Amino acid sequence: MSTTITAADINKLRQATGAGMMDCRKALTETNGDFEAAIDWLRKQGQKVAAKRSDRDAKEGVIIAQTTADHKTGFIVTISCETDFVSKNADFVAFAQSIADAAVANNVKSVEELNEVSVNGAKVADLINDKLAAIGEKIGISRFERIEAPYIASYIHGAHRLGVLVAMNQEAAEAGKDVAMQIAALNPVAVDAAAVPAEVITRERAIVTEQISADPKMAGKAAEMIAKIADGKMNAFFKEQTLLAQAFVKDGSKTVADHLKSVNADLKVIEFKRVALG
């Protein structure tokens, strides 16, 4: 049975990838409407598509990234709404900040726990319902992240549209802020190659291998040669997409790993969280 491809489906794929309408239609048709498979299909055709990451889930809202006073626990709280008119409103930003403050003060570990916390005598869940009734838009806690480490740096970018937490093995305020800005700007998939999820590596290798095999110049070439070229492309992927291997945004002559070593030979990034509206 054939799958019906709607204009809404095509538009969604266009928004996610930046590909043309006809290419999106063909991609969805070829993959029976499977959105993720359609993205891979476009990439296998050699198209440069926009990165689709899990951090692109709330269309509008306010993102607050902050830490406890001792910088040992970090939180990202996203309060979503439907329009930028609301998200840019100072009262709504203050409302989001009050909920994030409550998360920090109560050291909550989940959205469910945060909803039960009291702010000025009222539960967060009730405050959200009251705000929804007052502004007439659907709002809620759409994303919650929490990490612990010996030292955590936080960073908010672009009028609360993007938040970053960086967990480090020791205190390094300036380096932490620099790394957080790096993550905000270049959106790495992991700290280093070893931390890239296996499914991401499998997916990327399948895409580059198909791209290589489809090249007319590779017709009749041995599988070993194709695999070797794929290895090279994967090495380039790790260099571009993993934090420590990326060129440092403040000095492109060295990597982020080099910069950390120049600050302190023992300084390490343990993990990071990046949440963005989009």
- For 54-111, what is each residue's pLDDT tens digit? 444 447 999 999 999 999 999 999 999 989 899 999 999 999 999 999 999 999 999 9
Closest CA to 215 of 37, 45, 49: 45
Q: Is the pLDDT of residue 182 over 50?
A: yes
CA distances for 44 relative to 2, 109, 200, 220, 248, angstroms: 23, 40, 15, 19, 30
SS (H, E, C) 100-123: HHHHHHCCCCCHHHHHHCEECCEE
pLDDT level of residue 197 (50, 70, 90 thresholds): very high
pLDDT level of residue 53 (50, 70, 90 thresholds): very low
Beta partners for 76?
Answer: 65, 145
CB-count exposure of residue 132 (10 Å: 0-12, 13-18, 19+): middle
**Average pLDDT taken over every residue of the chain:** 91
Q: What is the pLDDT of residue 219?
A: 82
pLDDT in tens, 212-261: 988 888 888 888 899 999 999 999 999 999 999 999 999 999 999 999 99
Structural domains of the chain, with CATH: 1-39+46-52 (1.10.8.10), 60-172 (3.30.479.20)
% residues pLDDT > 70 (the chain): 95
User: Per residue in 74-96, is it b (16+ CB within 10 Å) or e — as a string?
Assistant: bbbbbbbbeeeebbeeeebbebb
The full DSSP string for 45-113 is TT--PPP--TTB--SEEEEEEEE-TTSSEEEEEEEEES-HHHHT-HHHHHHHHHHHHHHHHTT--SHHH
Using CA atoms, how far apart are residues 80 and 42, in angstroms rounded to an integer? 30
Average pLDDT of the segment spanning 14-39: 89
Average pLDDT of the segment spanning 113-141: 91
Q: What is the pLDDT of residue 56?
A: 41
Q: What is the pLDDT of residue 174?
A: 97
Using CA atoms, how far apart are residues 46 and 211, in angstroms rounded to an integer? 7
Cβ atoms of residues 248 and 260 within 8 Å? no
H-type alpha helices, the chain? 7-17, 21-30, 35-44, 84-87, 90-105, 111-116, 124-135, 173-186, 198-214, 223-241, 256-263
Q: What is the pLDDT of residue 152?
A: 98
Q: What is the pLDDT of residue 2?
A: 65
Average pLDDT of the segment spanning 39-49: 82
Closest CA to 269 of 256, 278, 252: 256
Average pLDDT of the segment spanning 23-49: 88
Cβ atoms of residues 202 and 234 within 8 Å? no
Q: What is the pLDDT of residue 1?
A: 54
Phi, psi (rounded to 5 degrees) for 261: -65, -35
